[in-house]
């Protein structure tokens, strides 16, 4: 499962929303989650990984989930992206 986003937050991805993303990814023990941006792919279970993407406003971000509960997980992650005002779903 994957979903594309465009970062809309003025300050890119902050530590706080990144924390929320990682905590959410960690809830789904049976699945692997990844974030891909600017040609780099990192595990979503690492805050250092997520911050290392150096996301800024206007960047495209792809979230990928594999394994158990993938659909539920991607749904939860998309909710964090939108509720935290980080980004919007992008085709």
Partner 1 sequence: MLEIKGIAASAGVAIASAFRLEHPDYTVHQENVADSDSELKRLDDALAKSQQELEAIKQRTEEQLGAKKAEIFESHLLILNDPELLDAVRDKITSEKVTAQYALDEVAKQFISMFENMKSAYLRERAADMRDVTKRVLTHLLGLNYINPADISEEVIVIAEDLTPSDTAQLNRQYVKGFTTNIGGRTSHSAIMARSLEIPAVVGTQEVMAQIQIGDTVIVDGLDGKVIVNPSAEVLEQYQLKRDQYLRQIEEWKKLKEVPTQSKDGVHVELGANIGTPNDVTGVLENGGEAVGLYRTEFLYMGRSELPSEDVQFNAYKTVLERMEGKPVVVRTLDIGGDKELPYLDLPKEMNPFLGFRAVRLCLERQDIFRTQLRALLRASVYGNLRIMFPMIATLDEFRQAKALLLDEKQKLTSEGVQVSDSIQLGIMVEIPSTAVLADQFAKEVDFFSIGTNDLIQYTMAADRMNERVSYLYQPYNPAILRLVKMVIDAAHQEGRWVGMCGEMAGDATAIPLLLGLGLDEFSMSATSILPARSQISRLSKAEMEQLAAKAMGMQTAQQVVELVRSIDE
75 is catalytic: no
Q: Which is nearer to partner 1, 41 or 71 (CB)?
A: 41
The catalytic position among 3, 14, 57, 62 is: 14
Residues near partner 1 (CB under 8 A) are 10-12, 14-16, 18-19, 22-23, 42-43, 45-49, 51-52, 54, 56
Give min distance, CB of 15 to partner 1, in A. Answer: 4
Between 48 and 89, CB nearer to partner 1: 48
Strand residue runs (E) in the chain: 2-7, 31-37, 40-43, 60-67, 87-89
Are the CB atoms for 73 and 28 separated by under 8 Å?
yes
CA pair distance 19, 91, nearest whole angstrom = 25
**CA 17 to CA 42: how far, in whole Å?**
16
Q: How far is the CB of 88 from partner 1 (least distance, A)?
A: 13
Q: Catalogue the active-site residues.
A: 14
């Amino acid at each position: 499962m994957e979903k594309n986003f465009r970062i809309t937050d003025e300050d890119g991805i902050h530590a706080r929303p990144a924390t929320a993303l990682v905590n959410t990814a960690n809830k789904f023990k049976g699945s692997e989650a990844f974030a891909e941006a600017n040609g780099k792919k990192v595990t979503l279970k690492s805050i250092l990984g997520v911050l290392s993407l150096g996301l800024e406003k206007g960047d495209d971000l792809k979230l990928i989930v594999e394994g158990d509960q993938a659909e539920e997980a991607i749904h939860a992650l998309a909710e964090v992206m939108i509720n935290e005002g980080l980004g919007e779903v992008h085709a």
